[in-house]
Structure 1
Amino acid sequence: MAGNRAVAYVEPGKVEVQDIPYPTLELRDGPGVNPANVGRQCQHGVILRVVTTNICGSDQHMVRGRTSAPRDLVLGHEILGEVVEVGRDVEFIKVGDLCSVPFNIACGRCRNCKEGKTGICLNVNPDRPGSAYGYVDMGGWVGGQAEYVMVPYADWNLLRFPDRDQAMEKILDLTMLSDIFPTGFHGAVTAGVRPGSTVYVAGAGPVGLAAAAGARLLGAAVVIVGDLIPERLDRARRAGFETVDVSLGDPRDQVEQLLGVPEVDAAVDAVGFEARGHGAGAAQEAPATVLNSLMELTAAGGAIGIPGLYVTADPGAVDEPARRGSLSLSLGTGWAKSLSFTTGQCPVMRYNRSLMMAILHDRVSIADVVGATVISLDDAPQGYADFDGGAARKYVIDPHGLVGATSAGAAG
Structure 2
Amino acid sequence: MAGNRAVAYKGPGKVEVIDTDYPEFELKDAPGINTANIGRKVPHGVILRTVATNICGSDQHMVRGRTTAPTDLVLGHEITGEVVEVGPDVEFIKVGDIVSVPFNISCGRCRNCKERKTGICLNVNPDRPGSAYGYVDMGGWVGGQAEHVLVPYADWNLLKFPDRDQALEKIMDLAMLSDILPTGYHGVVTAGVGVGSTVYIAGAGPVGLAAAASAHLLGAAVVIVGDMNEQRLAQARSFGCETVDVSKGAPAEQIEQILGVPEVDCGVDAVGFEARGHGKDASHEAPATVLNSLMDITAAGGALGIPGLYVTGDPGAVDEAAKKGSLSISLGTGWAKSLSFTTGQCPVMKYNRQLMMAILHDKIQIAKAVNAKAIPLDDAPKGYAEFDAGAATKYVLNPNGYIKN
The TM-score range, normalised by the shorter chain, is over 0.9
Give the number of aligned pairs: 405
**2:21 partner SS:** coil
Residue identity opposite 1:329 in structure 2: I
Q: Distance in 2 between matches of 1:39 and 1:361?
A: 43
Shift of 1:2: 2.1
2:215 counterpart residue number: 215
Shift of 1:11: 0.5
Shift of 1:133: 0.1
Q: Distance in 1 between matches of 2:250 and 2:383?
A: 32
Residue identity opposite 1:85 in structure 2: E
2:88 counterpart residue number: 88
Query: How do 1:8-407 residues align onto structure 2 when only pairs under 5 Å count?
Result: 8-404=8-404, 406=405
**1:338 partner SS:** coil
Q: Distance in 2 between matches of 1:2 and 1:367?
A: 33
Q: Distance in 2 between matches of 1:402 and 1:329?
A: 46
Residue identity opposite 1:236 in structure 2: A
Q: Distance in 1 between matches of 2:29 and 2:113?
A: 26
Q: Distance in 1 between matches of 2:401 and 2:82?
A: 14
Shift of 1:356: 0.1
Q: Distance in 2 between matches of 1:250 and 1:325?
A: 23
**2:210 partner SS:** helix
> Which string of whole-angstrom CA distances, capped at 9 and with x for unpartnered residues, describes residues 216-267 of structure 1?
1111000000000010001111121000000000100000000000000001
Residue identity opposite 1:126 in structure 2: P
Residue identity opposite 2:151 in structure 1: V
Q: Distance in 2 between matches of 1:55 and 1:277?
A: 25
Q: Distance in 1 between matches of 2:231 and 2:30?
A: 39
1:409 counterpart residue number: none
TM norm structure 1: 0.98
Q: Distance in 1 between matches of 2:30 and 2:378?
A: 22
> Which string of whole-angstrom CA distances, capped at 9 and with x for unpartnered residues, describes residues 151-187 of structure 1?
0000000000000000011000000000000000000
Shift of 1:68: 0.4
2:7 counterpart residue number: 7
**2:315 partner SS:** coil
**1:20 partner SS:** strand
Q: Distance in 2 between matches of 1:28 and 1:321?
A: 35
> Which string of whole-angstrom CA distances, capped at 9 and with x for unpartnered residues, describes residues 300-348 of structure 1?
0000000000001100001111011100011100000000000000000
Shift of 1:401: 1.4
The RMSD of aligned alpha carbons is 0.4
Structure 2 spans left out of the alignment, 5+ residues: none
Which structure 1 residue ranges, 4+ long, deviate > 2 Å from structure 2?
none
Q: Distance in 2 between matches of 1:156 and 1:166?
A: 23
Q: Distance in 2 between matches of 1:59 and 1:355?
A: 23
TM norm structure 2: 1.00
**2:52 partner SS:** strand
Q: Distance in 2 between matches of 1:41 and 1:119?
A: 22
Shift of 1:71: 0.5
Q: Distance in 2 between matches of 1:132 and 1:239?
A: 31
**1:387 partner SS:** helix
**2:293 partner SS:** helix
**2:3 partner SS:** coil
Q: Distance in 1 between matches of 2:289 and 2:32?
A: 31
Q: Distance in 2 between matches of 1:402 and 1:353?
A: 22
Shift of 1:402: 1.4
> Which string of whole-angstrom CA distances, capped at 9 and with x for unpartnered residues, describes residues 96-143 of structure 1?
000000000000000000000000000000000000000000110000
Q: Distance in 1 between matches of 2:116 and 2:316?
A: 34
Q: Distance in 1 between matches of 2:241 and 2:165?
A: 32
